[in-house]
Amino acid sequence: CSCATNKWTVCAQDGSENCSCTLVGSNHRVDCSTLTSKCLLMRAEMTPLKEKRFWGHPHGLLDSDGIYNPDCEDSGIFKARQCNQADTCWCVNTAGVRRTEKGDKSLSCGELVRTSWIYIKLRHKKRSSGFSVPDIANALKHLFESRYKLHPKYITAVKYNSPLIQIHLNQQNPEKSRCDVDIADVAYYFEKDIKNDSVFHSNSTLTVSVNGDALDIEKIRIYYIDEKPPEFCMKLLAAGVSAVVTVVTLMAGFGIAALVILRWLRTRKYKKVEIKEM
């Protein structure tokens, strides 16, 4: 009795020998036939070591203000506003990524904005010869469909220029049904697999094969694009632009001053030569 899609669970059989699993550190029931939401996984990873000593080492989301425990709705999605232990708050999207400046507990976030596009950038280890684009695309689409239960229609593009790979996931709100896995959860599971910290119960190392050859991925970066633009304060942007303008102005000033000094020295040298000749 175990949960194949989530190692952060406690499972037990009832009188009918049905296996029931709950999330570590809470009584939240887990559907082991599909992926667990990213928010619930992060909460489980924040459970104190003594409560999950049999499941591995504790992990957490590292923010610039420190580690925080995410707030989740009963459905498992992120609450629009997140706060850390220092009472610093910010707004997030459905992927749990910050989309506003930080403030205090008076910060209001309103609706939870959906992440509809995810770009995954990969780099595989160098090899004598690269793979063909169709072979890479077919292998990765099969991986996302079989391992992460993602419908192929949400994989809109796979681009390849050895050793770089780009995967585009697109999942608009009206298009996604309740039974479909969320692309934010898929990206989180995939990133964990690449970093050898698999969420799956078997905790097996991810192996991707392209026509029998291993695809050894050594680097991953994920970019999130929301249905609405982020709400970062323009003051910080203006301050950054002002700083750049100041630096450029100072450099230009130093350059002009250097040219004037060099010209003065050269003119002075010519005058000395003329006096000697006279």
Coil vs helix vs strand at 112: coil
Nearest Cα neighbor of 117 from 34, 226, 197, 38 is: 226
Q: What single letter denotes the amino acid at residue 169?
A: L
Coil vs helix vs strand at 114: coil
Burial class (CB in 10 A: 0-12, 13-18, 19+), 176: middle
Is 124:163 a contact under the CB 8 Å cutoff? yes
Q: What is the signed CA dihedral for 65, 69, 73, 78, rounded to 10 degrees?
A: 40
Is 55:24 a contact under the CB 8 Å cutoff? yes
Is 152:141 a contact under the CB 8 Å cutoff? yes
DSSP-assigned letter for residue 57: -
pTM of the model: 0.77
Is 228:113 a contact under the CB 8 Å cutoff? yes
d(CA 244, CA 83): 32
Burial class (CB in 10 A: 0-12, 13-18, 19+), 15: exposed
Q: What is the pLDDT along the chain (278 residues), one digit of tens a residue?
A: 889 999 999 999 877 788 899 998 778 999 999 999 999 999 888 876 444 444 444 444 334 444 568 999 988 999 999 998 888 999 999 999 999 999 999 999 999 999 999 999 999 998 888 899 999 999 999 999 999 999 999 999 999 999 999 999 999 877 777 889 999 999 999 999 999 989 998 766 788 889 889 899 989 999 999 999 998 875 444 444 454 555 555 666 666 766 767 777 776 655 555 555 55
Coil vs helix vs strand at 216: coil
Q: Tell me the β-bridge partners of 67.
A: 62
What's the first-to-final CA gap in the chain, in angstroms? 106
Burial class (CB in 10 A: 0-12, 13-18, 19+), 66: exposed
The structural domains of the chain, with segments of one domain joined by +, span 9-226
Nearest Cα neighbor of 195 from 140, 119, 122 is: 122
Q: Tokens 């301050």 correspond to what residue?
A: 239
